[in-house]
Amino acid sequence: EDKVVQSPLSLVVHEGDTVTLNCSYEVTNFRSLLWYKQEKKAPTFLFMLTSSGIEKKSGRLSSILDKKELFSILNITATQTGDSAVYLCAVELQGAQKLVFGQGTRLTINP
Amino acid sequence: EPEVTQTPSHQVTQMGQEVILRCVPISNHLYFYWYRQILGQKVEFLVSFYNNEISEKSEIFDDQFSVERPDGSNFTLKIRSTKLEDSAMYFCASSLGGNTIYFGEGSWLTVV
């Protein structure tokens, strides 16, 4: 069974801290890994990763994929209260038009 | 920026009633999806749709569910006879194919 596991499930930090969110996967036919931010309703796209070892960066957020060890991390530096959200990791399967989601990491940034 | 739009944002329905959730995917996208998220649980895949037919569906997507693209813009999910356990947030999504999947704001369905 295809599986995506995120850790931690919940994280509370102070504004300005750096956080690292983890995503590991066991799937039959990997195509890409995606990170989404879910604040109230719609998951909003952050990153799509297909190649190992190449860091993707957007402002204070960055992410990298390790296809050998089957995991990805999402880093957020200098966190702000607006970063508070559930961060979702999802794996897209080759030859199947669907995403398999992890359970999400609920990140809370306290002022 | 183009976005996926969904209606209604919230619907309350009696058990056994039929429900239709509507979506307008991003205009040049080719692949359309429905996902659902039961409160406190993972986002789960329901169905994908390409070239006017279902390309993949999950075990959740049983005979009570159907999808349709009645015209060039709308993509609908019908639940024929709702059950209490169908209460969830239903997300429509679309993609060009091989690219990022973009999600709508969701339709929150409450079955009472």
pLDDT in tens, chain B (112 residues): 679 999 999 999 999 999 999 999 998 899 999 999 999 899 999 999 998 899 999 999 999 999 999 887 899 999 999 999 999 999 999 998 767 889 999 999 999 9
Strand, coil or helix: A82: helix
Cα separations in angstroms, A68 against A30, A35, A71:
12, 19, 8
- A positions 92-111 inside 8 Å of B (CB): 92, 96-104
Q: Is the pLDDT of residue A84 over 90?
A: yes
Tell me the sheet residues that pair with A108.
Answer: A12
CB contact under 8 A, B33 and A45: no
Q: A104 to chain B: which residues are within 8 Å by CB? A: 42
Amino acid at position B20, single letter: I
Give the count of beta carbons closer than 10 Å to the beta carbon of residue B60: 17
Q: A92 to chain B: which residues are within 8 Å by CB? A: 101
Q: A with B: how many residue pairs have Cβ under 8 Å apart?
A: 48
- Please give the helix or strand (H or E) that residue A93 lies within, else none: strand A85-93
CB contact under 8 A, B43 and A90: yes
CB contact under 8 A, B103 and A36: yes
The secondary structure of B35-86 as a DSSP string is EEE-TTS-EEEEEEEETTEEEEE-TT--TTEEEE--SSS-EEEEESS--GGG
Rounded CA separation B72/B27 (Å): 9
Q: Which two tokens stand for residue A12?
A: 């509370």
Supply the pLDDT for residue B70. Answer: 83
Supply the pLDDT for residue B2. Answer: 72
Residue with tokens 């659902």: B36
Q: How confident is the model at residue A10 (pLDDT cuts 50, 70, 90)?
A: very high
Q: Using a CB–CB cutoff of 8 Å, tell me whether A83 touches chain B.
A: no
Q: Using a CB–CB cutoff of 8 Å, tell me whether B107 touches chain A.
A: no
Tens of pLDDT, residues A19-70: 999 999 999 889 999 999 999 778 999 999 999 999 999 999 999 999 999 9
Supply the pLDDT for residue A94. Answer: 83
Q: Which among A42, A45, A100 has CB closest to B106?
A: A42
CB contact under 8 A, A42 and B56: no
Helices (H) and strands (E) in chain B, counts: 0, 11
- B positions 52-71 inside 8 Å of A (CB): 55-56, 58
Chain A contact probe: residue of B101, B102, B108, B109 with most A CBs at under 10 A: B101
What is the least distance, in Å, from the CA of B61 to any CA of chain A? 13
Q: Which among A45, A97, A104 has CB closest to B102?
A: A45
SS3 content of chain A, % helix, strand, coil (to 5): 5, 60, 35
Task: Report the share of chain A in percent with pLDDT over 70.
Answer: 100
